[in-house]
Amino acid sequence: MDVRKTLRALARRFFGATSGAARPLQWLVDWVRGDGGTDSGIAMDGERAMRYAPVWYGVNKIAGHIAQMPLVLNEDLDDGRRRRRAKEHPAYPLVKRRPNALMSASVFKEVIQYHALMWGNGRAAIERNYRMDPVSLIPLLPDRTKTVLVNGEKWHVTRVTYEDGTSEDRKFRDRDVLHIAGLGFDGLTGYSLWEFAANSFGLGLGSEKAANRHFKHDAMPGLLLEAPAGMFRDESDAAAFLAAFRKAHEGLDNKSKVGLLREGIKANAIGASAGDSQWIEQRRFQRQDAALWLMLETILGDDASVSYNGLEQKMLAYLVNCLNRWLVKWEEECGEKLLREREKRLDTHYFKFVTGALLRSDTATTMSTGALAITSRILNPNEVRAWFELDPYEGGDEYINPNTTANAGRSGGKQDDEDGDPPDDPPDDNPSAQARSLIVNRLKELIAVEAKRVRAAAKKSANFVAWVDEFYGETRFLATLSRIVGSMGGETWHAIEHANASKQQILEAAGRSTPAELAANIEHATADWPARAEALADEILSLETAP
């Protein structure tokens, strides 16, 4: 049978799935049987599990983040020393822009990842041209597809319905199916999450159903009024009294209004029972269960989640502990199924997710990181400008340290006048003086902060000497100073010498001070510290000019 005809039928089947008497869907079978399928009595399938809010949130979060991260094809150049985007490769637009006529790349990745999460297997048939290059990726419905091993070869079998209404089981070799599998027993297929977690998800849905019935039929009022016996023998009098009471005390406008009960009427407040409190606690534990099934450390509505110092650290933990296992599966499967044999044999091409969008921090931190990357010559200015979606500028592709490079301007060096001659710099525009000024100013700022912290500790710290030892340790001020001095072209010993001199001066001042004199003596000892930036800058620059 024509492969193209089969793939067109698959596309129609995927985008217009229906259930019939000849081959009913699983939800119809469960409904007819009346079998709940879980200990809670709640029927469970992939669609019904998604109606449980924690599952909907977790699946959307994982599939959505994988969808939003670009998956690109790279080519190694110069034996791996450089790389570039392989935009001319036929697989590049399939994973980057549009895998088929009806889906964008983000929608395709989200759908396949959803199948892989809930059914354990996300599959897409690969349509190839006469050169065997991939030209289209058609998703296969997970509830109509199974994977089998025949004579040691892996096959995927799916039910296909054609335009004339006929159906058949269509077989695909594994090399023609992009298969993203979850955790499995045999390495061929993944376990279905909704089947394994049916009891957990069913318990959550059952609790929701019980809560809905409680509020619909068995809800308890927050306040009961107790009238003396025989007071309201006429039903209309009782109704009129309640209507007047509600009008006077219900609603936001009547909040905190003083009320009056007469004729021996008593007000009895109805609070939450112990059973209600346990019910609320159980709902929280059910959210935690859903997070565990989906490998999430935290989920909305669970206040006992792990805390992190910042959003970037939280996203990094999420990437490492949850997403990375799926990213590697995608990258390996695309590399195995969408590349040519020669490219795989020589290992010249590889697929890679761009995770930078997910790990983007706040603007101030991003700018600080970019500035450090430029001064360390890890990135050039144009690469950092691309983080902020800014246009590159001429000369911005140079890997230079603007703190130590002479006259590092927009072009990365001196620019000629209109007549082609080098410009005449004014006497105070000496490149070396400019570099020295930048380094001195940066060091003065850092040393001023150092002095400020030492003075504050002298006023507040109960054991000042112990604080000094910790502050000048390898993980505190010394680490910061070493990093900044290194970005300026200096060496670690520059930072060590400065820290040792500061520490010795502080301890000498503290040794000759009484507790009452300590703060004043430390302030006097650190008063001239910013001036030390001049000598430290000269030592750093001496490395640049050393023969």
pLDDT digits (tens, 9 = 90+) for 460-502: 877 888 888 888 876 678 888 888 877 777 787 788 888 888 8
Report percent pLDDT > 90 for the chain. 22
- Rounded to 5°, angle at Cα 388 from 383 and 391: 65
Q: What is the structure's pLDDT at 216?
A: 57
Is residue 229 in some structural domain?
A: no
Task: Please say which residue of 361, 385, 403 terminates a domain.
Answer: 361
| 134-140 sheet: strands from edge to edge | 134-140, 121-128, 177-181
CA-closest candidate to residue 244, choices 217, 215, 232, 219: 232
Residues 309 and 449 in one domain: no
Report the distance separating Cα 415 and Cα 423, nearest Å.
7
Residues 210 and 298 in one domain: yes
Q: What is the structure's pLDDT at 532?
A: 82
Is residue 195 in some structural domain?
A: yes
Residues 136 and 31 in one domain: yes
Residues 433 and 355 in one domain: no
Residues 177 and 306 in one domain: yes
Strand 82-85 relative to strand 177-181: parallel, antiparallel, unpaired? unpaired
Number of domains in the chain: 2
Report the distance separating Cα 20 and Cα 290, nearest Å.
33
Residues 48 and 163 in one domain: yes
Is residue 408 in some structural domain?
A: no
Is residue 221 in some structural domain?
A: no
Q: What is the structure's pLDDT at 187?
A: 86
Residue 310, CA atoms < 13 Å, CB-side half-sphere: 8
| pLDDT per residue as tens digits for the range 26-35 | 544 554 444 4
Residues 353 and 465 in one domain: no
Task: Please say which residue of 340, 361, 382 terminates a domain.
Answer: 361
Tokens representing 336 are 């195995």
Q: What is the structure's pLDDT at 64?
A: 92
Q: What is the structure's pLDDT at 365?
A: 66
Mean pLDDT of the chain: 77
Residues 354 and 211 in one domain: yes
Is residue 245 in some structural domain?
A: no
Residues 169 and 307 in one domain: yes
Is residue 234 in some structural domain?
A: no
| pLDDT per residue as tens digits for the range 203-240 | 666 666 666 665 555 555 667 777 777 777 778 877 88
Residues 344 and 470 in one domain: no
Identify any residues that bridge with 134 across adjacent strands, giving them in sequence order. Answer: 128
Do 510 and 465 touch, CB atoms closer than 8 A? yes
Q: By residue range, what is the domain housing residue 145?
A: 1-215+273-361
Is residue 394 in some structural domain?
A: no
Is residue 248 in some structural domain?
A: no
Identify any residues that bridge with 127 across adjacent strands, giving them in sequence order. Answer: 136
Task: Please say which residue of 328, 361, 394 terminates a domain.
Answer: 361
Query: Residue 67's pLDDT band (boundaries 50, 70, 90)?
Result: very high
User: Of how many residues is the chain composed?
Assistant: 547
Residues 32 and 130 in one domain: yes
Average of per-residue pLDDT across 128-142: 93
Q: What is the structure's pLDDT at 398?
A: 84
Q: What are φ and ψ of residue 160, in 5° steps? A: -115, 135
Tokens representing 303 are 């206040």
Report percent pLDDT > 70 for the chain. 71
Report the distance separating Cα 91 and Cα 335, nearest Å.
10
Residues 349 and 451 in one domain: no
- 63 has a pLDDT exceeding 60: yes
Q: What is the structure's pLDDT at 31?
A: 47
